[in-house]
Amino acid sequence: MEVEIDGTYARVIDRDEESGFTIFKLHVNNCKKEALKLDRQGNITVKADSIPYYQLGFPLLIKGEYLLDDHGYGPTIIHPIVTEKSMDEVVTANYIAEICRGIGIATAQKIIRESGYGTDVFALACSADAKDTLKRLGVAKSAIREFITNVKRTVEERKLLEWLHPYNVSYASVVKLYETYGDDAKNQLEKYPYTVGKMIGLTFDKMDAIAKKSGIDCADYDRIITAVKGALLNNESKGHTYGLQEDIVKAAQKLLRTSSYPSIIPATTITNHMERCQGIVKELAKKPRVFLKNTFKDELNIARQVLRLRDSAITTPFVPEIVDHVALETGMTYAVQQRNSFNLLRTTGLKILTGGPGTGKTTTILGLIAGYQYMYPEAVVRICAPTGRAAQRASESTGMEAVTAHRLLEYCPYGDRDDTAMMKNENDPIEADFIVVDEVSMADNYLMSKLLSAVKSGGIIILVGDINQLPSVGCGDVLHDLIYSGKVDVCQLTEVYRQAADSTIIKNSRKINLGETDLLEDEDFRIIKCSDQQEMILEISKLEEKYHKEDDKYFAQTLAPAHKPLAGVENLNRTLQRKINESNEGRSLRFGKKRFFLHDKVIMLQNNYNLGNGYYNGDIGEVVSVENGVLTVLIRNEEFIITRDLIAKHIDLSYCKTIHKAQGSEYPVVIISLPHCMSLQRNLLYTGVTRAKFKVAIVEEDGALLYAIAKDQTGQRKTMLMERILQHLK
């Protein structure tokens, strides 16, 4: 039956911070209790599809369908319309005091009795004279601001949620919309659905539906350019820096055709709009190429910086005897290839040192640093890596301080986009004479453009990495392109150290790299064949249980090639979370498909310099608190508060993670899930295997291992960097 009741928000049973779906207890007003079956506390369960984040004690009016029992929750109201509701003085005064630290019960009662709005605090907070009224009643300035913000925000978010409900817009997007535009949020989204929609994370079909409802024409410039940029971004997500114009136009047409508008947009209309767009660059060729403007600029700039560093290079006072001096000082014996690497020090500029596991890259780099400092005793040396975990590992292996590349660049965003960030550059270079960039295969075009720009003329920068590993997540294939341009000094280490040569992991990594399928198996390298992915999950669970250490959450790590397969990251994270974390029955925070419990192992997905000493992309941490819709995460002995606005893009479970995310890390034991999926390829498998120090277990869906080894896609990304370097040097 349909019911209409009022009460106060008493307790959260479950809530999804992404969608706003909430199961909660409503404390029902006395006058309504006779008509309903309530629990001992006078509460009833409410299941709401999407509501704002309400503080406890919030007065609500509920209209919905009443059931005597709903899936074990007892008497429940389902699919309700939930709105704020003014109540009696006691409830309202308690609510005001709860949401505003600067207002006590006595002041709250005074507001109710003397403001002229009575118990309708919602009308008061939304009124034009709210500030003057509260000031007249003696409320402090800071408390006025807090009161109006907290009350008004909840009301406005609720209105936006109701308006956007037909478009299936998440609560997280509504929060961002209101935070950005305040009371003008609805007007801005109706007027600029594509610009605003993209900013708050809406998909193209949702932006399109809002645009059509707002009366925007199907051939609108913003609509078509959004589709084109979407096609280019999708192209970049595959690693390419450009797309052929004809391919991008077709992809945009497909997106436009499958949305809210039935009309087919001619290719000529799309190309005409592309010509007008300042954010897109067209490069004439036999088959015209199109780029996003910033990607185009980054690629051009890398080529320009290669030329600058070459032209500004100086000849150093290097002599071969320096190698013997360094060997004596460090107590190291350098193999032939390592001795030859010292020739990189004959001049300054851009250099590359590459090699696989066991070839002594770290030993060689330490020798090169010592050799440079022998020639220039006052030289400033800095070491960095693309991610926090890779920087930490570089610090551990070298015994020297290493930071993220962003930290070295003194990256300081002051807008929502990376191109509005203050950082070191050609006019204000990094204060270092010798820069080492470790795990450089992870660096995309954007990061390499910024790094090379910030190296002072006459300085030396050595890029260190493994050419056979996966290329960057972002677009570009920088390490590959720089090496194969033939215009950068390169030293490649291929000889494996004697003490590493006996490692089955290293032997097999070399076999994988050569496309050989006869992998060796022993107690340190196991291959477990499964008939399907369900069997894989069972085997992986057994292995995790075997190698899991309660006092060292990072001893064993499960990796997978992709998120979506049954034996992929998402499902394995949920499965292993249930198996490993004994706290997973307690208080939790849910965000879409993610659910976080106390003591969960998590990974940070973004850099954030605004909290404490900052956390970095790739950092691993532990959830140490789950309270009031926020997580507290412990990373490197520092606690970080992760609020609901950060959860979407900043944090995920890390019982299993993608091989791409593991790049730059190393673990004693690595378990690799290898289901059949589009991501399988040789360098992905090679990267996964080389993350292990001591043991590898590959759990494969029948035939997936052979398929991955056979699929070599090295150098398959569409880029123009090599050509640009050669053009600039001409």
Tell me the per-residue pLDDT of 479-493, one tens digit each, with 9 for 90 and over: 999 999 999 999 999
CB 76 within 8 A of CB 69: yes
Looking at residues 561-577, what average pLDDT do you find?
A: 96
Residues 344-394: tens digit of each pLDDT: 999 999 999 999 998 999 999 999 999 999 999 999 999 999 988 899 899
Q: Does residue 499 carry a pLDDT above 70?
A: no
Q: How far apart are CA 62 and CA 695, in angstroms?
A: 57
Looking at residues 444-472, what average pLDDT do you find?
A: 96
Element of type H or E holding 699: strand 692-701
The closest of 509, 523, 507 to 685, measured between CA atoms, is 509
CB 672 within 8 A of CB 508: no
With vertex at residue 366, the alpha carbon angle to CA 365 and CA 369, rounded to the nearest 5 degrees, is 85
How much is the pLDDT for 294? Answer: 95
Residues 691-729: tens digit of each pLDDT: 999 999 999 999 999 999 999 988 789 999 999 999 877
Element of type H or E holding 281: strand 280-283
Q: On the CB side of 472, how many CA atoms lie within 13 Å of its CA?
A: 26
How much is the pLDDT for 487? Answer: 93
How much is the pLDDT for 416? Answer: 47
Task: List the single range of 72-81, 536-545, 681-690 with lowest mean pLDDT.
Answer: 72-81
How much is the pLDDT for 607? Answer: 79
Strand order across the beta sheet in which 630-635 lies: 638-642, 630-635, 620-627, 601-604, 651-653
With vertex at residue 96, the alpha carbon angle to CA 92 and CA 101, rounded to the nearest 5 degrees, is 160
Q: Does residue 30 carry a pLDDT above 50?
A: yes
Question: Tokens 């009309």 belong to which residue?
Answer: 263
Higher-confidence position of 469 and 70? 469
In the structure encoding, which two tokens stand for residue 316, read together?
A: 């150093």
Q: How far apart are CA 265 and CA 249, in angstroms?
A: 10
Q: How far apart are CA 416 and CA 594, in angstroms?
A: 25
End-to-end CA distance of the chain: 81
Give the sign of the dihedral formed by CA 25, CA 31, CA 36, CA 42.
Answer: positive
Q: How far apart are CA 211 and CA 222, in angstroms?
A: 10
C-alpha dihedral over 299, 303, 306, 307, to 10 degrees? -150
φ and ψ at residue 274, rounded to 5 degrees: -60, -40
How many percent of the chain have pLDDT more than 70?
Answer: 98
Higher-confidence position of 39 and 209? 209
E strands present in 417-465: 421-422, 434-437, 460-465
Q: How confident is the model at residue 413 (pLDDT cuts 50, 70, 90)?
A: low
Give the sign of the dihedral formed by CA 703, CA 705, CA 710, CA 715.
Answer: positive
Q: How far apart are CA 441 and CA 478, in angstroms?
A: 7
The separation between CA 275 and the C-alpha centre of its own chain, rounded to angstroms, equals 32
Please tell me whether residue 642 adopts helix, strand or coil conformation.
Answer: strand
CB 584 within 8 A of CB 698: no
Q: How far apart are CA 240 and CA 222, in angstroms?
A: 24
Q: How confident is the model at residue 414 (pLDDT cuts 50, 70, 90)?
A: low
Residue type present at position 303: A
How much is the pLDDT for 619? Answer: 85
Q: How far apart are CA 443 and CA 424, in angstroms?
A: 17
| Residues contacting residue 45 through CB under 8 Å, at least 6 positions apart | 13, 23, 24, 25, 26, 70, 73, 74, 75, 76, 77
Q: How confident is the model at residue 131 (pLDDT cuts 50, 70, 90)?
A: very high
Q: Does residue 38 carry a pLDDT above 90?
A: no
How much is the pLDDT for 185? Answer: 96
Question: For the chain, how many helices (H) and strands (E)?
Answer: 29, 28
**Rg of the Cα trace of the chain?**
30
Q: How far apart are CA 353 and CA 436, in angstroms?
A: 10
E strands present in 313-471: 349-355, 381-385, 402-404, 412-413, 421-422, 434-437, 460-465
Q: How confident is the model at residue 420 (pLDDT cuts 50, 70, 90)?
A: low
Q: How confident is the model at residue 636 (pLDDT cuts 50, 70, 90)?
A: confident
Q: How far apart are CA 546 and CA 669, in angstroms?
A: 11
Please tell me whether residue 87 adopts helix, strand or coil conformation.
Answer: coil
Please tell me whether residue 397 adopts helix, strand or coil conformation.
Answer: helix
Q: How confident is the model at residue 445 (pLDDT cuts 50, 70, 90)?
A: very high
Looking at residues 250-254, what average pLDDT do you find?
A: 95
How would you classify residue 703: left for phi > 0, otherwise alpha for psi between -120 and 50, otherwise beta? left
In the structure encoding, which two tokens stand for residue 500, read together?
A: 């590493």
| Residues contacting residue 694 through CB under 8 Å, at least 6 positions apart | 505, 524, 668, 669
The closest of 286, 700, 683 to 479, measured between CA atoms, is 683
